[in-house]
Amino acid sequence: MDNLKRDIARCPRVAVYGTLKRGQRNHHWLGGAALLGHDYLTALTLYDLGPYPGAKQKASQGALVEVYAINSDQLALLDQLEEYCHHAPLTGTYCREIFQTRHGSAWCYLYNYGVKDKMRIDNGEW
């Protein structure tokens, strides 16, 4: 395991951009997590998927994220919510990758399916 993954394994962080943000319907999944702050991730592009957004690892003007310090149990719950498959990350609805934020390295969930017919969210805020 490289240093970056070792660091995030000790103190997991997650960068959220959609229904997990404060005031959104799934924020309760982050109950007890500490909000570290906000950032714009220029390595992400957001797409409107209807009831929720999806992010692709593609350069943009920036996607607004909230960065939270979480624990391993919370990360496991988020994996369930986002339908992330550890044994085959590209087969679930989302995979997750580590991104550098101003609040440290953080996991971010990336949408696995095509977005050709989806509207790009140019302002980076869903």
Q: What digits encode the pLDDT tens for the residues 49-97?
A: 999 999 999 999 999 999 999 999 999 999 999 999 988 888 999 999 9
Domain residue ranges in the chain: 3-121
CATH architecture of the domain 3-121 equals: Roll (3.10)
Q: What digits encode the pLDDT tens for the residues 10-57?
A: 679 999 999 999 999 999 999 999 999 999 999 999 999 999 999 999
Q: Nearest-CA neighbor of 28 among 67, 78, 63?
A: 78
